[in-house]
Structure 1
Amino acid sequence: MQNILVITTSIFGEDGQSSQLINQALDQLATANPEARVTIRNLASNPVPHLSGERFGAFLSAADNRTAEQQAVIDFSDQLIEELRTADAVILGVPMYNFGIPSGLKAYFDHIARAGVTFRYTENGPEGLLADRPVYIIATRGGIYAGTELDTQTPYLRTFLGFLGLQDLNFVYAEGLNMGDDSQQKALQKAAGQIAELMS
């Protein structure tokens, strides 16, 4: 394993529980792969612009007809895609905000979903163009939602990432984090144990 891509999304930065669990996962993965290069994409401190008509228009424009502004949008999107394409493993932190994924993560997704680049439509339906690799998804929630209809994150992430070709998804849930100190401590300990098992 030569390249590890870490994507953090917590609005609380390093104090966020998903960020702390990500650091645990990264430490263990890096220890097992000491020569690996780590790329950290912090979507909270360095947000990806939300998709607009102008930005989407850049994705649709022919290469020889793009304005300088459109080319800048394409270059930025290409950079995000290249980070993902060259990663041997991805660690993704996903806190739950108002029953969904962080808006910054959705903006990131909107810039890596490019027809003809990361997916294509065929006569048999859509085909992901990214080679599969392990994606470790650390999902932190104030309540308990996994396995219920209120967990909108898990099916969405499976659908979106699978659409691009990423099928090897490994979920770690830390839930009940706002349900008292005892619940929080048990959830974080359980998640840490699952991370250690996954990374071993």
Structure 2
Amino acid sequence: MFSFQTVPSQNTVVQDWRQAFQQFKTKKGARCAVENLLKRAKNGKGVGTINPVVDVYNSVSLEWAFPVAAEDMDQIKGDIHLTVAQGGERFRPIGEDDVETALPGEVIYRDAYDVISRCWAWRDSARVEATEATQNLLFYMENVNPQRHADHVAATAALQTRLHDYLGISTTLHVVTHDQPSVAFKD
């Protein structure tokens, strides 16, 4: 787990993500979502409340140092793919009016319409943003270090427990790996 005694950039978890981010194109300043949360916590800035769902998954992200995201499944168009961008795919980030485009070679989540998250779960799309009105959610929690598999399993269980205990949300777990690259979860 993350130690708040360590400068985030020197933490082994953050270093794993920085090494992963060096393998593809990124927007200048893009850092793993968990690094951004950890820096805010370390610097005493606080994470702040967004909405109950985001607050719960941010608590898991901070405790276990895994990036977590949630999307509004009712806004997803077709299948979701974790893929490498060709470049130019449309993306409108949460809280922004302007449309951006993905860089060639950037790792993105996308559906049939456009990009739903850039640089893995660094920045989410306003179109599929999880809000208090969202009825059907998709969560993803990313792990780039196979040696942290047991922590990843425990963090996933913690997320499921907190969603159930605090918000009454029941979840079904699906794991996507290199050997199991897809999951059918929506008709």
Q: What's the TM-score, normalizing by structure 1?
A: 0.30
Give the structure with the higher percent strand: 1
Q: Which has the larger radius of gyration?
A: 1
Q: What's the TM-score, normalizing by structure 2?
A: 0.32
